Each structure stands twice: as structure tokens, then as C-alpha cells.
Amino acid sequence: MLSAISHLCARLSARRFVGGKALIIGIVAFFAISPFAGPAENVSIPDLALVARDVSHRAIAVAHAAESNVAVSRASLWVAEANEYLVAHYPDLEKTYKHLHRHPELSYCETQTSAYLVKQLEGTGFKVTSNFGGGNGLVAVLRNGDGPTVLVRTEMDALPITEQTGLPYSSETKSRDREGNVVGIMHACGHDVHMTCWIGTAHTLAGMRDSWKGTLIFIAQPAEEIGCGADAMIREGLFTKFPKPDYCLALHCDPQSAAGTVTYTPGLAMANIDMVSIVVRGKGGHGAWPHMTVDPVVLSARLILDLQTLVSRENNPTDPLVLTVGTVHGGVKANVIPNEVTLQLTVRTTRDATRKRVLEGIERMAKGVAVSAKAPEPIVSINPNWHTPAVINDPKLLNKTVAILREGLGDSHVCQRPPMMGGEDFARFGREGIASTLLFLGTQAADKVALAEAGDDSVLPSLHSDKFAPVMEPTLKTGVQAMTLAVLNLVGKESTELTSRKTNGSTTARSKVR
């Protein structure tokens, strides 16, 4: 009913109104639709406002086209169709989001999450392959004639964090991590948002098959949080057993931007990630006789400080570099000097040359500390499986995507952001020679973002925080709109024009795709 009224109002406005007068149709539609939006349709006042706004957009576009016979903005029409889906199905999306948020699973344990996503894709026409790429990955393919192939990725795994948001749908899930520890589990990186937007976009595009031609590949990957899932899917034959995409797209939550916005970074968007383990070895003994030992605790403390000179004294200050010692494990009793201490590091770089130099520097310094104390040589492990390459957005694809987002969402809702030192294994797809772009989705209340920009760093929790909580409705709706636009911009039919023709002596507007 809402969709029919929306189309009717737009058609009427094209016959009789142009310019600003078409806006009146949208306002009238707000009130006209209300009687038809009873409880059975589960439509809220904000949803009615959304439809009214879209009626206005259509009315203005169609009216001007009827007057001047010019092309209607594809973006406006696509956003209107996406919003019609959102009005009808947003309550379902909200339920999906809350379910995923309440039931997180750790990397390579996403069994229930994967099964839930399969269920959500039923009836869309996507052909789904389960248990792909590490056991829990999904590949869903929708063919719709000849045209480009576009891959849209989400990730499924959560983090070993005990949630402290206080939300009524907070996760209370606990499980054992890879070391056997009982931990709380939380979607503290927004993967629940990503999955919900992925589902909404899949349903929207499946319902718009008359508007596009090509092949869609929607993948849900495991183990992004440990940097393995994308590589596992590629190794298992993602690009050989299924159509190889021409383009890859993904969303990631942005904890520093307002909900309702999309942000982007040209070129380098996210950093290289390396995880390094160092076993500092010594000679244990009694804490009261340190002269008879080689104390690995003292050596570790010295090394932790020395490592920071790789950042402050050996690296160009204009070349971003982060080196963090995240864990220090050694000793079991206050009066016992242990035989060894284990350090675990994360290293973030933006240039491959810097990465190589810093990793070599870590090994050099670790060995140097040991030599200075006549200690056994340390064990430095730089496992290539722990490496995630930098995310570099394809410039041509990014520019094309940003242009359609600005057109469809408005300039004020699409903003450039600086690169971040976080990492994402979405980068693996770009390293396979496929044009790829990662977009960032605003998640926070606008007033809190304003406070943060004014200097109050306490108001916005970061990703991986136990208090990270996106503002649900505008975040989810904008995510579906943005990804729908981005995909249609690549597979949408070449042009949507409104031409004038005479029917029964009057001028009407007709949409023609060619």
C-alpha cells in the first residue's frame, strides 16, 4: 500500500506541479498515508516521514523530467526503492541485529551465526554454499543476466570481550577462547551491524532485479578478527569455484562518525598488521639471589622500552608506525625469578618497506638485549599467517562510489576521513587484483560526535571497547542504502530516462531503461 501511494503521488505531481510545488505532494503524502499505515503494516511515524521525503524526491525528479525531458537521477530512484524496502522490513532488520548482537561467536566458531544467515537469505533467489573457507563461510550467488560481477562481503566473528553497554539486548554469551580461558563474547567491532546491512542489501537488490544486470556474490567470512578468514576463503577457491568478481565492496563501522553518515578514505585506508611473539630467555632462580640468575623480567622491561625507539628514533615521523606490547607473561611467584618471559606485540605500518625494516629491527633489538646480559638467544616468531596487508581503496572505484553516494544520500552525509591504524583482511581481495573499496559507516549520536570533535575524548568508545554501542536505526538504514547504491552503481542498467509522450491529449512521464 505504501509503495503504491508513493508511486501515485509522484505520478500526480509530474502532471501538475514542478519545482518547489512538488514538495507539497510529499507533505500531503505524509498525512495521506497515515490512515493506511495501521498496526498490520507496523509502520512508525519516522517511517512515514521517510516515505514522504521519497515521494517529494520522486515528484521533483519526475516533474522536472516531464517539463524538460531530461534524465532522472538514478540515485534518487534507487534510494527511494531502498527506502520502500526499509519502511516495510525495518522491524525485521532490527530483530536480526538484536539477535546477532545477543548471540556472538568467536573466530572459527561461527556455526550458529552462519546457519542464521543462511536462513535469512531464504526466498531471495541467492544460491547459497555453506561451510566454505574454514568451515563456516558462506558464498551466496545471484545471477541476473549479463553484466559485471560484484562481491559484497560481511564478516561473522566476535571478540573475547565482556559487554558493559547496559543495553537490553546485551550479549551475555561466554565461551572458551583458543587458550582455554572462559571469556565473555561481544560484537565490539560492529560485525553484527555489517551482517544486518548485508542481509538488508541482499533482500533489497533481489527485489530490484528489473533495475540491474549482472551477478552478485554475497560472502560471509569467518575469522576476520584473527586475520585469517578472507585468506582461507581465497585458498579454498573463492575465485575459481565461483565467478571471479570485477569489484569487491564492504562496510565497516566507524566509531568516530555520526550515525546516518558514510565516510571514506582515498588510497590507503587501513594499516598493515603483524603479530609478533618474543620469548625472552634467562636463567631462573631465587629472588633473594639475583646475582646467580639472568633475570628475563628485567631483560623484558629493557626490551619493551628499547622497542619504542624503533618508532621515535629510527622511523621518519611522517611515516605512520605503531608498535604495542600487548601482553607480558612470566613468573608464578614473587620470590622466584622465571626462566623466561613471553611478550606479544602488534605492529602497524602503512608502507611495505617500513614493515620490513621494523620487523627486522624487533629481532635485532631482542637479540641485542640478550647479548648484553649474556642470556640465551630469544625466540622471535613472526608468523606469516598473522599478517594482514594494508587496505588500499581502488581510486577509480572509490571515486565512482563516492559520487553516487553523494548524489543519493546528500553531500553532508558523505565525508572523507583520514587513514586509520586498524587493519582488515578485506585487503586480501584487493591483493588478488580485484578493484576493491571499503566504506565506513557512522554509528554514533551526532551530539556525542560534536563533543568529541570539541576535545572531549571520553564520550566515544572505540572499536573493541566493551562499551561500543552503535545507534541502531540510522546506522542500519544508512548501511543498507549506501551498499545498495554502491552495488547498483556498478550493475544498474545504463540509464534511466523520463521521456514525454502524448496520451489522450495530455503529457505524462514514462520511465525508460536502456
Are 434 and 245 in contact, with CB atoms under 8 Å apart? Answer: yes
Query: Three-state SS across 398-428?
Result: HHHHHHHHHHHHCHHHEEECCCECCCCCCHH
Residue 458 pLDDT: 84
* Separation CA 495–CA 77 (nearest Å): 12
Q: Cell numbers at residue 512, please?
A: 525508460
Residue 383 pLDDT: 81
- Please choose, from the candidates 167, 155, 102, 154, the residue with its C-alpha nearest in 3D space to the C-alpha of residue 461: 167
CA distance between the termini of the chain: 28
Are 307 and 325 in contact, with CB atoms under 8 Å apart? Answer: yes
What is the mean pLDDT for each group of 10 consecutive residues in the chain (514 residues)?
A: 46 38 44 40 48 48 41 80 92 97 96 98 97 93 97 98 97 88 96 98 96 97 94 97 98 97 97 97 97 98 98 97 97 97 97 96 98 98 89 97 96 96 96 97 96 89 96 97 97 54 31 26
Backbone angles phi, psi at 241, to 5 degrees: -85, -15
> What are the structural domains, with CATH classification, of the chain?
92-271+390-491 (3.40.630.10), 272-386 (3.30.70.360)
Q: In sequence order, what E strands does 199-287 have?
A: 214-221, 247-258, 262-264, 268-270, 272-281, 285-286
CA distances from 448 to 413, 456, 483 (A): 17, 9, 25
Own/partner long-range contacts of 25-29 (Cβ < 8 Å, ≥24 apart) = 25/55, 25/56, 25/59, 26/52, 26/53, 26/54, 26/55, 26/56, 26/57, 26/59, 27/52, 27/56, 29/5, 29/55, 29/56
DSSP alpha helix (H) spans, 151-237: 191-206, 229-235
Are 76 and 86 in contact, with CB atoms under 8 Å apart? Answer: no
Residue 317 pLDDT: 96
- Please choose, from the candidates 24, 29, 27, the residue with its C-alpha nearest in 3D space to the C-alpha of residue 8: 29
Listed in sequence order, the residues at least 6 apart from 213 whose beta carbon sits closer than 8 Å to its beta carbon are 144, 145, 146, 147, 491, 493
Residue 83 pLDDT: 92
* Separation CA 363–CA 345 (nearest Å): 12
